[in-house]
Structure 1
Amino acid sequence: MVRIWDLAYACFIFNQDDMTPTIDEYAALLRVDNVQPYKIYVKEPKPMTFKKKLVRLTDMTDAWVEKQIKKKNETICIPWSSLRDLVLNHPDMLKRVNLFALAIYGLIIFPKVLGHIEVVMVDFFERLKQGINPVPTILAETFRSLSSCRKKGKGRFIGYAQLLNVWILSHFWKVERTPFHMFSKTFSPLEAYFKKEWPKEVTEQHWVSVFQNLRADDVTWRAPWIRPSVLLYKVRDQDWMPLLGLWGGVGYAPLMVQR
């Protein structure tokens, strides 16, 4: 997907058609309709220290927390293995659930340091419990990571890859040309992926070829799971807005992909 990501417009270009995940689509997939839509994540100007937040989150001693804190590639973090024992054995069930949720955000949604929970995640998680909407942050880091990988021509995607994957397959399940003709007639490409019937001979170059030669009628423009609602395409009189991520911001213009 990085190969067809356009840096200037922050969208995918499939042959003649532009497309990108939107706030509305990600909100529908993540089922965040009970979250205040205008309450977004912004870093606190004077946040509590990482150690104090971990003490409050885990109910462990200062000494225990101090021992777990590591530094990986100039990033302060805590190993997932340190939290795993607490998730399994903490006497407070609510603490177990919270720490497990924190691990999901740190290891899957924002996997910046593999196998570790990054310092920013604890602050973000605290704000989640206050009712912020996580979708703009997830979308911002998705766009930033795609652009970073595109600029370098390589790199690891630091974003919610599984969610992006669902989005892609939901919009392009109708494609039947190479490499999709390799699928069993029983399954659509989306079903085949999740049923692990994906053909081994489908290479990266196959995918690039398919996406670069898409026709408009190959695309399911409105995914079946999108909710009927008013869609966000501008903010007041502006058709461009900033999305704030954990490690930076990015421009977002949903009007480009209103189709």
Structure 2
Amino acid sequence: MANEFLDKVEDNAIVRIWSEKVQLEKGDSLAKDYVSELWDYTRISVMQNSLQELKEIWDKWNGETKQLFYSNYGDLTYLLDIKADEQLFRALAQYWNPAYSCFTFGKVDLVPTVEEYTALLHCPRFQVDKAYFRAAYVPTFWKKLTNITGMCEQWITARIKQKGECKCIPWKNLRDLILVHLDGKKKVDVFALSIYGLVIFPRALGHVDEAVSDLFDRLGKGVTPVPTILAETFRSLNACRRAGEGRFIGCVQLLLPWFHSHF
């Protein structure tokens, strides 16, 4: 399937022009004088975090701990077993149309939906009518990590790092904490936070950043992260397609299963 997409990459510009022309004629949100300025081929990086240590930790847990995880975070760990097919993803990205935020395959437009991603994550605690939004008052990074991990301020602040414009905590520190944590619920929470930071929102490789901790801190209130996951996916695809290159920082492990479900 990947080879078929790669063979058709050169047709992407034609497909895009056709799609924009037809939809413009029928009326939509494009400006009247809109002109596509996309590159014919986008060189997109799918650099991922290594998930081996997460898998090893999960495999060592007993049934009771795993059940505790499932009841709180659904099928999140299944993402650890999904191989990120970089060749297929790069080919798929060529069909992303930023003008409409959807994939255009010939005469068919496809886009992941909230319902589809909710089904893939299968978390019973998500309330679809409670989407995440950044509150006016947000606790400091160390306070959120203290709440999630159960560790003291001194332990947290000693491990927070600055990566570019955002504050992060290294995965190695979270890994070590998971291995020795005496509180079973907190151990599960830190493990789930790590999946959100390393797999779903892999902004800073090898780290979990502050924005992820804010979203994660709200999951306990039934907030669904799915709209945010989709928004980050669309934002990253749009940025890469318009620049003609870039690193995709959405969740490949969700996007590819969604794609396979349609073909």
Q: Give the shorter-chain TM-score range.
A: 0.5 to 0.7
Structure 1 residue 136 corresponds to structure 2 residue 224: no
Task: Using the aligned pairs only, state the percent identity.
Answer: 51
Runs of 4+ in 1 over 3 A off after TM superposition: none
Is the contact made by 1:32 and 1:133 (CA closer than 8 Å) also made in structure 2?
no
Structure 1 residue 33: deviation in Å? Answer: 5.2
CA distance in structure 1 between the aligned counterparts of 2:179 and 2:157, rounded to whole angstroms:
21
CA distance in structure 2 between the aligned counterparts of 1:125 and 1:7, rounded to whole angstroms:
28
Structure 1 residue 57: deviation in Å? Answer: 2.1
Match of 2:163 in 1: 72
Structure 1 residue 56: deviation in Å? Answer: 2.4
Structure 1 stretches lacking a partner, 5+ long? 173-259
AA paired with 1:128? L
CA displacement 1:21-71 (0-9 Å, x = unmatched): 111111121224552221010101111111112122222222221110101
Closer, same or farther in 2 for the Cα pair 1:30/1:56, shift >3 Å? closer
Is the contact made by 1:27 and 1:33 (CA closer than 8 Å) also made in structure 2?
no
CA distance in structure 1 between the aligned counterparts of 2:175 and 2:191, rounded to whole angstroms:
8
What is the correspondence of 1:1-259 to structure 2 with a 5 Å cutoff?
1-32=92-123, 34-172=125-263
SS in 2 for 1:171: coil
Closer, same or farther in 2 for the Cα pair 1:156/1:68, shift >3 Å? same
CA RMSD of aligned residues (A): 1.2
Structure 1 residue 3: deviation in Å? Answer: 1.2
TM-score where L is the length of structure 1:
0.64
User: Higher relative CO (CA 8 A, sep ≥ 6), structure 1 or 2?
Assistant: 2
CA displacement 1:60-116 (0-9 Å, x = unmatched): 222221110101112110100011111111111111000000000000000000010
Closer, same or farther in 2 for the Cα pair 1:145/1:82, shift >3 Å? same
CA distance in structure 2 between the aligned counterparts of 1:33 and 1:48, rounded to whole angstroms:
27
Structure 2 stretches lacking a partner, 5+ long? 1-91
SS in 2 for 1:77: strand
